[in-house]
Amino acid sequence: MSERIVRARPLALVQDDLVDYEQAMDRMTELVAARQGDEIPDTLWLLSHPQVFTVGKRTAAEHLPDPSHGIPVIPTGRGGQLTYHGPGQLVGYLIVKLRPDEGVVDYVREVELRLVEALEKLGLPAERRETPPGSELLTGVWTRETGRKIVSIGMRAGRGVTSHGFALNVDGDLDPWHYAVPCGMPDVDMTSLARELPEPLVSEHVRRVVAEAFEASSAS
């Protein structure tokens, strides 16, 4: 039986198109501070970034891309290892106050399950994976039939509020994933909705389904 979300957690929805990564980090820091002060509700921010590699604290030097590709590499404070962002990818930053009985790892699992639900509604069977002891973390979402990784997740929490979030590959260029070692896994096969599905999806539809999976809606 598939795992399911059992508790409601409605979020406020903020949407942007293409936002520079470092500018987005500045804005996310402001949103986190506002949530810590109870000035805003739990929030999902959907957007995309120009081409950029971001690296977590555990990213090995040999996993970094060759600089000749010309794509910036930016250190970040989130969990996880190296990931890639670019046009055609849907990024979701989650600014959420954790409940007293949960930690950030618990919430990451909830994020995985909500994205599994969204992908299934988009016509792509997907799953989260447990990490075997001693293995690299299998955080994220994977296609059930082809075994490829379609969602990367890296989060952290400070003063009880989460930051950073997920990246869902929709229809962007997958070649940059081959320029480096994503997620600390040399053999991972990164994929996208466009690669997995027989018919293209409208990006606005993808955003809507993802927002619905997180019970996120814009203020009226």
Q: Per the structure block, which two tokens stand in for 63?
A: 């996993």
Does residue 115 have an active-site annotation? Answer: no
Catalytic residue among 157, 161, 170, 183: 183
What Cα–Cα distance (Å) separates residue 219 from each residue in 27, 40, 41, 165? 19, 12, 11, 21
Q: Per the structure block, which two tokens stand in for 107?
A: 């919430």
Given the DSSP bridges, would you call strands 43-48 and 141-143 parallel, antiparallel or unpaired?
Answer: unpaired
Could you give the 3-state DSSP secondary structure of residue 198?
coil
CA gap 103, 105 in Å, rounded: 5
In this structure, are residues 153 and 94 in contact, taking their beta carbons and an 8 Å threshold?
Answer: no
Catalytic residues: 183
